[in-house]
Every structure is written in C-alpha cells, then in structure tokens.
Amino acid sequence: MLPEFEPKLSAPDFAGWFGARAPEMGFGAYALEIGFGGGEHLAAQAKAFPEIGFIGCEPFLNGVAKLLGQIEAEGLTNLCVHHGDARDVMAAMPAGVLGQAFLLYPDPWPKKRHHKRRFVNRENLDSLFRVLMPGARLLVATDIADYANWTLAEIKKHGGFVWRARQRADWLHAPSNWPGTRYEQKALAAGRVPHYLEFTRRETILPGAL
C-alpha cells in the first residue's frame, strides 16, 4: 500500500499529492502530522474529519506499517503517508497550504549535548511558518517539562506564533475529542504529565513575541 499512499511530490497542484484519492476540487483543508509513531492519532483524525487531507510523516517503518493497517481496516482515503523525514515533506510543500500541524511527543533528547537534535528549532519553525497559513494551528504535545519550556522559548525567539494559553488548565487539558497517541498512553502509565501547547501562526514574524 505504501507506494499508493506516498505523497506524489511532483504533482502539479497540492491536492495531486493524494493522487486519485483527492476529491475533484481538492480537500477543504490540509493538516500535517510530524512523527506519527503508530499512527493512532492520525488515523482517528482522518476518520473524524474526512473533508481534511492529512499528510503524515514517520521514518519508523513498523509505525508506517501500523498506520497502513488502520487505513485499510477503516477504508480511509484522505491521507498521504511519507515514510521518512518531515523536513523533506515541508521543503516540497507549497507555502501557506496547511490549516494545522501536529507535533506529538517529539523525541525528547534529554541530554544537554543532544538538545540541538530537538525537532523544535529555528529551522523547523521557519519551515512550519512557511507551510502553515496565517491563523493556522500548531499543536505541540510533550510529557517532558523541559521540552515544554524549550518549545516556549524557541517559539518566543522565533516570533511567528502566538501562544493563547492563559491558565494551567489551557496546557494541561487535551483538546476536545482527543484521540491520544501510543506514546502518550505510556507517559500517562509512567505517571508523567502531558502538556498540550497550542499556537496560532501569525501574519508576520515578530521576534521575541509569544
């Protein structure tokens, strides 16, 4: 199934990434999930929102296979699956096409000398800013408090996204109808606390603003 579901990056328009599965007029909106793991969240979102075209990226082959199994079982058609790095997909994407991007439980890289490997960084925020449209939603979930602080610091430095949270409940409660992820289940079982950091893409970049 993978060749059929890999995004057709050379298609003349963005809907063409979905090949013959794209509706004639394209999807109503588009969303990206970076590092979907076993694809539980992505498959649930695609099922709940058939009018949205979802693009999922994951280098871990067993996770890709697991998602394809869910796609087949549910008969989902509004998805593209990239077996590989999300950075390559964002680089190939036209500007301003996405209404949402999900980065759920990115690898925490806890050692200080590995922090530079964290997905939330200047370069990837630049790419996300480019492919998200103004007003689009960026959701970063993490169970590592240091990664949550890191994310807020990087977002503030970047200045392309607004964080609308005002109280603890805003980042400690999952968004409504949240399907969860496999990693999240493990984190909860281990007593760790998920943080849901929800951002809105600004019209223009204001470095230092959150």
Ligand X SMILES: C[S@@+](CC[C@H](N)C(=O)[O-])C[C@H]1O[C@@H](n2cnc3c(N)ncnc32)[C@H](O)[C@@H]1O
Euclidean distance between CA atoms 73 and 45, whole angstroms: 15
Least distance in angstroms from the C-beta of 139 to ligand X: 11
Selected binder of ligand X within 8, 13, 60, 126 (CB under 6 A): 60
Q: Is 184 in the site for ligand X (CB under 6 A)?
A: yes
- CB of 23 or CB of 179, closer to ligand X: 179
Q: Using an 8 Å Cβ cutoff, are 39 and 179 in contact?
A: no
Other CB atoms closer than 10 Å to residue 153's CB: what's the count? 12
- Tell me 84's DSSP state: S
Euclidean distance between CA atoms 121 and 47, whole angstroms: 31
Q: Is 104 in the site for ligand X (CB under 6 A)?
A: yes
Largest CA distance in the chain: 49
Least distance in angstroms from the C-beta of 136 to ligand X: 19
Q: Is 150 in the site for ligand X (CB under 6 A)?
A: no
Instruction: Give the residue numbers marked as catalytic.
Output: 107
User: Which parts of this chain interact with ligand X (CB under 6 A)?
Assistant: 34-37, 57-60, 63, 85-87, 104-107, 119, 181-184
